[in-house]
DNA sequence: ACGATATAAATGCAATTGCATGTATTGTCA
DNA sequence: TGACAATACATGCAATTGCATTTATATCGT
C-alpha cells in the first residue's frame, strides 16, 4: 500500500532521534535556567555573532545559520540588543539591511555560560556515549543535511 | 581548567544532533501543514491514546509519555477535545483525575495523516540514510535515555 | 481519624511565537 | 529609465507557551 518504503527500524530511529533531542534539550535548558542563564537560543546566536567577528552578521545570515524564521531573528535581536549583548548598525552596502555585532558583554556571557553548558552536555549527552559512539553519531548525522 | 572532559567530536555530535533534529522537524511539520494537517504533537498524542486503547490514558500518563509540561497536556487535551478527536471522562479510581480516550474521528485522523507523515520521514530522514545507518542510529540513540 | 503533605489538573497573566502584512530598498529587464 | 519583481526587515494581532498559583482529592504519619 505504501508508495515509499519505510522499515520499522527507520521509524524507530526517527522516533528515538526526536525523543532524545527533545529530552536532552529540555534537560539542558533546564540546567541552564536553574543556573540563572538565558535560553540556549541566546547562546547560539551570540556564538554565531562571535564567530563572525568584528564585521558582524546580517540578520538574514543569522537566520540561515540558526534555522529561524525571519521575524524570529528580528525579535531575538531586539531582545539581545535591549540587554546589551548585541549592537545593531545600519548596513552601508544595503540600505534595506543592518548589521548585528556582539558586544563585550555578549562575549562575557558566552564565557560565563560555557562551563554550565559543557557540564550539561556531558551530563545529558556525552556522558552516556562512548567516544566511538559520538564519532559514529557525528558521521551519520552529517548525512542529514 | 575543565572539570569534565568533552572532546571536539562530542561537541560536534551534540551540535549536529540538535541541528538535524530541528531541521528535520521543521521540514516535516512544514510538509504536514502544507497538506492541511494539524501539528505533529497532535499526531503523537493521538497515537499514544490509540495505543492505550479503550481504557484511555490519564493526562499525567500522557504527560510522561510525551515529555510535555502538565499545563501543556491540559491545554492540548482541551484542543483535541474541542475538535472531537478526544473525549474526557472522569476517573473512577481517583476523584482528582480524568481519563482521555481517542474517538473514532481521532483514529481516522491518524489513518489519514500517516501517509503524509511517512512520506515526510522518508524525504527528510530515512531517505538520506542506509538501512545500516538507521540501525546504528537507533542503537546509539537508545543509550540517550 | 486528623492534620500535614503530596498529587492531579486547571487557569490568569505575561512572554513568546506564528501568520499575515507593511515599508523601504534593491535588482531586473524591456 | 521606469515599471515590476524580489529582498530585507519590522510589526499588529491571534495563538501558544511558560510561570505561578489555585482547587480538589488522595495519601501519609501519628
| Residue B1 in this model has a pLDDT that exceeds 90 | no
Maximum Cα interatomic distance, chain B, rounded to a whole number of Å: 59
C-beta within 7 A of nucleic chain C, residues 13-52 of A: 41
Mean pLDDT of B70-92: 97
What is the gyration radius of the CA atoms in chain A, in angstroms?
19
pLDDT at A57: 98
CB B143 within 8 A of CB A14: no
**B14/A131 touch (CB, cutoff 8 Å), yes or no:** no
pLDDT at B5: 87
**B14/A145 touch (CB, cutoff 8 Å), yes or no:** no
Look-up of cell digits 562575557: A108
How many Å apart are CA B139 and CA B80, to the nearest integer?
34
pLDDT at B10: 97
Q: Is the CB of B94 under 7 A from strand C?
A: yes
pLDDT at A5: 87
pLDDT at B11: 98
Mean pLDDT of B64-84: 98
Instruction: Please state the separation of Cα B87 from the chain's center in Å.
Output: 19
Q: Which nucleotides of D are covered by protein (CB under 7 A)?
A: 7-12, 16-20, 24-27
D7: residue with closest CA to C1'? A96
Exposed, middle or buried, A132 (CB in 10 Å: 0-12/13-18/19+)? exposed
Q: Which band of pLDDT confidence, cut at 50, 70 and 90, is reported for residue A145?
A: confident
| Residue B124 in this model has a pLDDT that exceeds 80 | yes
For chain A, what percent of residues have pLDDT higher than 70?
Answer: 98
Hey, is B56 helix, strand or coil?
coil
CB-based contact (8 Å) between A126 and chain B? yes
How many Å apart are CA A83 and CA A98, to the nearest integer?
19
Rounded to the nearest 10 degrees, what angle do helices B8-34 and A8-34 cross at?
A: 110
The residue of chain A with its CA nearest to that of B18 is A21
pLDDT at A122: 97
pLDDT digits (tens, 9 = 90+) for A18-71: 999 999 999 999 999 999 999 999 999 999 999 999 999 999 999 999 999 999
**B126/A18 touch (CB, cutoff 8 Å), yes or no:** no
C-beta within 7 A of nucleic chain C, residues 27-66 of B: 33, 58-60, 63
pLDDT digits (tens, 9 = 90+) for B19-56: 999 999 999 999 999 999 999 999 999 999 999 999 99
| Residue B3 in this model has a pLDDT that exceeds 70 | no
CA dihedral (B65, B69, B73, B76) positive or negative: negative
Number of separate helices (H) and strands (E) present in chain A = 6, 2
Distance from CA of A115 to the nearest CA of B (A): 8
pTM, full prediction: 0.94
List for chain B the helix, strand, coil content (%; round to 5): 70, 10, 25
Q: Which residues contact B84 (CB under 8 A, 6 or more apart)?
A: B103, B105, B106
Exposed e or buried b for every residue in B108-117, given b needs 16+ CB within 10 A? ebbeebeebb
Amino acid at each position: 500500500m505504501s508508495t515509499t518504503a519505510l522499515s520499522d527500524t527507520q521509524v524507530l530511529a526517527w522516533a528515538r532521534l526526536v525523543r532524545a533531542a527533545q529530552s536532552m534539550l529540555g534537560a539542558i535548558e533546564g540546567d541552564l535556567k536553574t543556573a540563572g542563564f538565558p535560553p540556549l537560543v541566546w547562546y547560539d546566536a551570540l556564538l554565531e555573532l562571535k564567530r563572525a567577528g568584528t564585521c558582524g552578521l546580517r540578520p538574514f545570515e543569522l537566520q540561515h545559520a540558526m534555522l529561524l524564521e525571519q521575524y524570529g531573528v528580528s525579535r531575538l535581536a531586539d531582545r539581545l540588543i535591549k540587554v546589551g549583548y548585541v549592537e545593531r548598525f545600519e548596513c552601508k552596502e544595503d540600505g534595506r539591511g543592518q548589521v548585528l555585532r556582539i558586544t563585550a558583554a555578549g562575549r562575557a556571557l558566552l564565557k560565563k555560560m560555557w562551563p554550565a553548558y559543557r557540564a550539561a552536555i556531558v551530563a545529558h549527552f556525552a556522558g552516556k556515549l562512548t567516544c566511538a559512539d559520538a564519532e559514529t553519531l557525528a558521521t551519520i548525522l552529517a548525512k542529514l543535511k
